[in-house]
Chain A
Amino acid sequence: MQLTIITDLNKCVGCKSCQVSCKEHNTSGAFGPVPDDTPYQDPDGMWWNRILTMESGEYPNTSVLYLPKACMHCYDAPCVPVCPTGASFKREDNGVVLVDYDSCIGCQLCMWACPYGVREFDEEAGVVKKCTLCIDRIEDTTLPEHERQPACVQSCPTHARTFGDLDDPNSEVARLVAERQGFGLLPELGARPSVHYLPRRPAPSLLDAETLETAMEERY
């Protein structure tokens, strides 16, 4: 089993509700691991899920991309073997990559090894922290079935994010990746991320008024 999140980049509108709900759940949840000591200063502290906004192309053919980026829960997670204490580990039963804070010495070597820059150093606790795929929610049997999913997935207003088992060919996430050519980031570095993104459909090319008029005349 490999639990993962698939994000449809066509549906993501960059509202950052997943970023905020992640922070909210993990700061005020059962474990409270995300420090939030200075919430009213510049929000450059610890976020396990960051939404990048990128503009690409050249005028007039430009577009904006929103890219939610958290732990990729890689099949060959490079952060795991480099850890000297075994604090970073990948669970055999569901593929989630986690950190044992009690064993972490805070050397940050796993942050260097992670190609995606999704691990964060907690200066207060002196340990490295990251997205847990809301392990406390997805394994909480007291929650209703539909709530046993990561906070970011549940809060997405456009349903851009889908949670499930990538190794199950009948799962929704496996179907989406197969049918929509889901891709992982930085494949050349060999981490085999389980988190995938569904590529954006190309935007229609812009027509100037004259071409548009000609086309309309030809058609009608």
Chain B
Amino acid sequence: MRPATPLLVLTIGQGLAGGITVCLAALMWMGRLAPGEARILVLIALGTAAVGGMGSFFHMHNLKAARYVMRRLKTSWLSREALTTALFGGLLAVLAIWTVLDAAGISSAGYRIVLAITASAGFVAMWVTAMLYATIPAVLSWHTPATVLNFMLVGITSGVGLTAGWVSGAPDLWIGLAIWIPLTAVVKGLHWGHFRRAHGQIRAETGTGLPFSPYRLQDTGTSKPPYRTQTQVWPLIHPALLRIVQLWIVFWLFVVPLGGVLLWQTAGWSGGRWFLPVGALLGVIAERWLFFADATHSSRVFFVDEPRRAPQVPLTGGASRTGNPT
């Protein structure tokens, strides 16, 4: 799958905004948030949501038709995503205006209720976006409940990570992170396992009706990488690059934030909390890129060979041949 920049911006921005808002609501209800911190975090959440919203606009290539985008609420998860994300963004904007204009009102019950509703809207928006990806059977890598779990957990982990940099007096947040980050890592591992299995689900027997394998593509039908007009496929990622990106994600999304938590809690170094937003941002960008770039679409059977094997024919003569029978 081609990792389109607007999609990366949209899903990352929405996840961060949702995660921050959920975290903010939890801290507010526990009475662990100072008004000054709340103000900064609401504005950051609004900023990330706005960036995500801009991403969604750039992903539409024919804006004249944008007014029809909620026509298919009954069947289309994208219609539902437009509705829930817009609702979340609107509520967040109201919350931000309230936060800026009425600083004293932050500790009021009304503000808490609006914050809770906004956090719920953020949670639902993230869930709807995750369902959009998980309900496409043709994208074999995504068609699993692990996709929904992954979206929710990564969104909230990155949002909480971003929150942690600006919250000084919330010990519960660190305890939560120490549980939340390993949980997200486990789900991410399961998700990657599903991605690997999806690679093996490409079947020439049903894709082409060929009765026997292996098959070799001699002509992909006047198409070639990076498949300009067919964005559902993408050249296979080299295994070495895949390993590097996965290590990057594990390091920045899980190891660095956990290290920050440990430094803060055990060594008493308050600077450790800044590891969390940095790690969350660098990790989630790579995570989302890989989510798209490594996704296997069922139509890949028409674009990519089965793995090449050495020739089975006994070789004769002085010169020995090795490698692929191309």
For the complex formed, measure the closest distance between the CB of B48 and the CB atoms of chain A, giving whole angstroms.
Answer: 21
| A127 located at the interface, meaning its Cβ lies under 8 Å from any Cβ of chain B in the complex | yes
- Of the stretches B132-140, B176-184, B187-195, B267-275, the one at the interface is B132-140
Chain B residues contacting A117 (CB-CB under 8 Å) are: 230, 232-233, 297-299, 302-303
For the complex, what is the distance from the CA of A119 to the CA of B139, rounded to whole Å? 15
| A215 located at the interface, meaning its Cβ lies under 8 Å from any Cβ of chain B in the complex | no
| B77 located at the interface, meaning its Cβ lies under 8 Å from any Cβ of chain A in the complex | yes
B139-A112 in contact (CB<8A) = yes
- Of the stretches A54-62, A142-150, A152-160, A164-172, the one at the interface is A54-62
For the complex, what is the distance from the CA of A183 to the CA of B207, rounded to whole Å? 11
| B215 located at the interface, meaning its Cβ lies under 8 Å from any Cβ of chain A in the complex | yes
| A212 located at the interface, meaning its Cβ lies under 8 Å from any Cβ of chain B in the complex | no
A81-B221 in contact (CB<8A) = no
For the complex, what is the distance from the CA of A59 to the CA of B309, rounded to whole Å? 12
| A122 located at the interface, meaning its Cβ lies under 8 Å from any Cβ of chain B in the complex | yes
Chain B residues contacting A43 (CB-CB under 8 Å) are: 222
The one of B69, B139, B228 in contact with A123, judged by C-beta atoms closer than 8 angstroms, is B228
For the complex, what is the distance from the CA of A46 to the CA of B228, rounded to whole Å? 9
For the complex, what is the distance from the CA of A186 to the CA of B66, rounded to whole Å? 33
Interface size on A, residues (CB 8 A): 67
A81-B75 in contact (CB<8A) = yes
A54-B230 in contact (CB<8A) = no
A185-B208 in contact (CB<8A) = yes
A59-B313 in contact (CB<8A) = yes
For the complex formed, measure the closest distance between the CB of B227 and the CB atoms of chain A, giving whole angstroms.
Answer: 8
Q: Name the interface residues of A56-77: CB closer than 8 Å to any CB of B.
A: 56-59, 61, 64-65, 67, 69
| B316 located at the interface, meaning its Cβ lies under 8 Å from any Cβ of chain A in the complex | no
B298-A189 in contact (CB<8A) = yes
| A96 located at the interface, meaning its Cβ lies under 8 Å from any Cβ of chain B in the complex | no
For the complex, what is the distance from the CA of A112 to the CA of B297, rounded to whole Å? 8
For the complex, what is the distance from the CA of A65 to the CA of B311, rounded to whole Å? 21
A84-B69 in contact (CB<8A) = yes
Q: Enumerate 18 A-B pairs (CB-CB under 8 Å) in ascending A order.
A: A42-B224, A54-B217, A54-B218, A64-B218, A78-B138, A84-B76, A102-B65, A103-B68, A103-B71, A106-B60, A106-B61, A107-B59, A112-B136, A112-B139, A117-B230, A120-B229, A188-B203, A199-B209
Which 5 pairs of residues, A with B, have the shortest CB-CB distance?
A: A117-B299, A50-B221, A106-B61, A126-B61, A81-B75
Given A67-B208, A69-B302, 17 new contacts (CB under 8 A): A44-B222, A50-B220, A50-B222, A52-B302, A56-B204, A58-B214, A59-B311, A82-B78, A84-B78, A86-B71, A105-B63, A106-B60, A107-B61, A109-B76, A123-B61, A127-B61, A185-B207
